Structure formats: structure tokens, C-alpha cells
Amino acid sequence: MAKDIKQLLSDVGLLPSESKVYLAALELGPSTVQNIAKKADISRTAAYEAIELLQKRGLVSSSTVGKRKMFASEDPHRIVSYLKEEQQKFATTLSDIERQVDALHLLAGGIKPTVKVYEGEEALPAYFGHIAQIMPEKFDEVSNLDDVYSFLGQERIKAARSAYDMGGLKEIRLLHFGDLRNPRPNAQYRRLDKRFGEFHGNIAIYEDFVSLVTFIARPVVVLIESKSIADTLRVMYNAAWESCK
């Protein structure tokens, strides 16, 4: 029977030393580490380590009697609660990973460009989320501000920037059509000359990434990871920036 119980504790995720200590402390009641180690047939050092792990799991408690520190196993029902908590943590972590799997793909290296396309409601959260994950030091952007503010609204843009903490960028350059609103103190702005033509959307270059955003009908975001493409567009951006002094 004891062997079956130890296997059950192992299935719950306890190490062999933890299982031995938990069962020993459960049989002994409040006891010193020395007595628990002797009952579990392990060294005192191993017992201390197992007790520390079990306390973190909430399966062992401690008390002080006189000058001696005593340890006791929690009620076996606590194992059920612990297992439910671990399952919930695992489910939450799995859910978080599933939501971020596309962003993780974008972080993967390789010679072949990685392209991801987002449409509709998921488009802008994916875009801002990606920037928040990369947190680039430099950010070059071309934007039709009239389109941006017409589609999103000023307050929604402020909330998005605040939520994704884009304030950590050290150098921001923005070439823009339309009127400038709420300029940032750490950003440089230059207005695009109408003689270059007009476009409706947003282009950003940061690290090895290029993002393309359009707002016609419904938002579409294209995220491209390619150092060569980013470097090429950055040269073109520098040329446009200099021509708009």
C-alpha cells in the first residue's frame, strides 16, 4: 500500500525525497528534521531540501516549540487542492502560450523571411503586442495620421500606447501625412511632402522587422521578419527623412 501511495505522490509531481518526507511527517505528526529524516531513511540535508519544497507546495507547515522547530504534513486533502491549483496554473500557462504562439513564431530566426498577416479585430492587438515583446530601441515609422485617428480615435490610441508600454523606445522618427497630435518628447517628426503622393496606412521599421498596416474597410496588419528587407527599407526611409527637412 505504501508503495502505491508513493507512486501516487510521484504522479502528483513530488520528488521521491518529498514523498518520503511527507509520509514520514504525516505518520510522526509534528517532529524535528532529525526525526523526519530518520523515519524517511534519508540524510538530514535531503530532508531539509524536501521540506523546503513541500512548504512551497503548501504540503508541510512549521511551528516552534520551545527552541525547537517542528514540521508537520498538511491534511492529505491538501494534496487534492494542490493538484487542482497546479492544473489551473498549467491551463492558464497553456492558454497564454496559445495566444502568443504567432508572436513566438515571429521571434524565430532564419534566412527565409517570416510573414504573418492579421485581419479584423486581432490585427491591431497583434501589432502592438509584437512591438511590446520586441521593445526595439529605434523605431522608424511612416503614417497617414488622418487615417489613424479617424479609424481609432485619439483616446483609443493613447490607451493602446500606454497598455503596450511603447514609452521605452529611445529613438522614434515619424514621417507623416496629416496633422500631428499629441507629439512625444522623445520623438522626431517630419511632414511628408504631398508631391511624393499619398498613401492610406502605416509602415514601421524596427530591429529586423517591417510592419505594414492598412485601415481601408477593416484593419490589416502584415508583419515581416527579415534583416535584409528591414535594412533595405531603412535606407529608403533615411533618404525620405533627409528630403523632408
Within a domain: residue 102?
yes
Higher pLDDT among residues 228 and 10, named by residue: 228
Within a domain: residue 129?
yes
- 36/117 same-domain check: no
Task: Look up the domain containing 49 and give its range.
Answer: 14-74
Domain count, the chain: 2
The pLDDT of residue 2: 47
CATH of residue 220's domain is: 3.30.870.10
CATH of residue 32's domain is: 1.10.10.10
Q: Is the pLDDT of residue 1 over 50?
A: no
The pLDDT of residue 153: 65
H or E stretch at 214:
strand 209-214
Tell me if 225 sits within 8 A of 113, measured CB to CB. Answer: yes
The pLDDT of residue 37: 92
pLDDT in tens, 52-88: 988 988 888 888 888 889 998 888 888 777 777 777 7
- 130/235 same-domain check: yes
Distance CA 221, CA 161 (A): 17
Higher pLDDT among residues 163 and 12, named by residue: 12
- All three cell numbers of 171, joined, read 529613438
Within a domain: residue 2?
no
Within a domain: residue 81?
no
pLDDT in tens, 200-237: 888 999 999 999 988 777 788 999 998 889 999 999 99
- All three cell numbers of 53, joined, read 519544497
- Label residue 112 by pLDDT band (50, 70, 90): low
Task: Provide the whole-model pTM.
Answer: 0.52
- 191/238 same-domain check: yes
pLDDT in tens, 13-64: 788 888 899 889 888 988 999 999 999 999 999 999 999 988 988 888 888 8
Higher pLDDT among residues 190 and 125, named by residue: 190
Within a domain: residue 150?
yes
Within a domain: residue 162?
yes
- All three cell numbers of 9, joined, read 505522490
Q: What is the DSSP string of 12-50?
A: HT--HHHHHHHHHHHHH-SB-HHHHHHHHTS-HHHHHHH
- 102/206 same-domain check: yes
User: Last residue of a domain, which of 41, 59, 74?
Assistant: 74
pLDDT in tens, 118-169: 888 788 778 888 887 888 888 899 988 888 777 776 666 665 565 445 556 6
- 151/226 same-domain check: yes
